[in-house]
Amino acid sequence: MHCSANVQEHDPTIRTMNETVMTDDHKPSFEHPVRLHKGETAPNFELESDEYKHYALADFKHQNVVLYFYPQAMTSGCTIEANDFKANLEKFEKAGYTVIGISRDGVDKLQEFREKNGLNFILLSDPDYEVHKLYGTVKETFEDGKKEYAVVRSTFVLDGEDKIVSAEYDVNPEGHVVDLLGKIAK
């Protein structure tokens, strides 16, 4: 997949394979690196939303879920993807899916992201990368000889029994949501 030059120029989070580098002190462990696959059970989790509510995947039992991981709120690639989900939310809901976005951003930043873009779906905060690690959406990178961590833009489609219907890693924010909707509608 490719990113348009326009987005790459202005978005520091769009890098090779759509990764963003984490340079703060939160360092995930890589004791259990994973890549999830179709047919596996999605790991349960509980995270806080931008509305200070706690959500667990188990709360959505018997519901189809689109769970997407994005690198950083308020950046152009993540804003494109979030706005595409917003614009197509009614279609996802009509197809029977709940959309949930997860990033490492804190609750306050997620609130700002929602308000600035009028987002109409659940945003969850995973500041310690715990859920990212469960889903294999964070990995080690080396930049300028220094070990850092990168969030891999990824999307999972789950059925009502928490089985993974689709696991897509390294997705392009441009066009991804429309492509995903086309796959779900089939």
Strand partners, 175: none
Contact between 100 and 125 under an 8 Å Cβ cutoff? The reply is: no
| Backbone torsion region of residue 161, taken as left when φ is above 0, otherwise alpha when ψ lies between -120 and 50, otherwise beta | alpha
78 a catalytic residue: yes
**Would the CA dihedral through 66, 55, 119, 62 be positive or negative?**
positive
Contact between 137 and 22 under an 8 Å Cβ cutoff? The reply is: no
User: Could you report how far apart the first and last alpha carbons of the chain are, in Å?
Assistant: 22
Cα–Cα distance for residue pair 161/179, rounded to 1 Å: 23
Query: Which position among 36, 42, 78, 80 bears the catalytic label?
Result: 78
Catalytic annotation, residues? 78
